[in-house]
């Protein structure tokens, strides 16, 4: 491994959105810094599967509304 080309790897504290904390090793910040998350896997819909909204009148519906009256028949 080459010397002096890799970032410093140290211990930081991570604070989740619900207030829980844990320590991990990272290249972010410096030794002993606290990383406060705004979005985390416990609360974000991308990980929890909740909060999906179905958009009524999407692209296909808009297309049919604009061009539905046109026909290729003679």
42 phi/psi in degrees, rounded to 5: -80, -25
The pLDDT assigned to 74 comes to 63
Question: Angle 61-66-70 (CA atoms, 0-180°, nearest 5)?
Answer: 115
Residue with tokens 């998350």: 37
User: Model pTM?
Assistant: 0.55
Per-residue pLDDT tens digits for 29-66: 999 999 998 888 777 777 777 655 666 677 888 888 88
Domain-wise residue ranges, the chain: 1-38
Residues 6 or more apart whose CB falls under 8 angstroms from that of 31 comprise: 10, 11, 12
At which residue do the structure tokens 């080309």 appear? Answer: 5
| pLDDT above 80: residue 4 | yes
Ranges of beta strands (E only) in the chain are 10-15, 21-26, 34-36
More confident residue, 23 or 69: 23
Who wins on pLDDT, 14 or 62? 14
């Amino acid at each position: 491994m080459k010397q002096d080309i890799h970032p410093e790897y140290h211990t930081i504290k991570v604070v989740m959105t619900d207030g829980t904390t844990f320590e991990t090793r990272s290249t972010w910040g410096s030794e002993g810094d606290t990383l406060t998350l705004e979005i985390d896997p416990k609360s974000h819909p991308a990980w929890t599967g909740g909060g999906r909204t179905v958009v009524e009148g999407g692209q296909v519906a808009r297309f049919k509304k604009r061009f539905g009256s046109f026909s290729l028949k003679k």
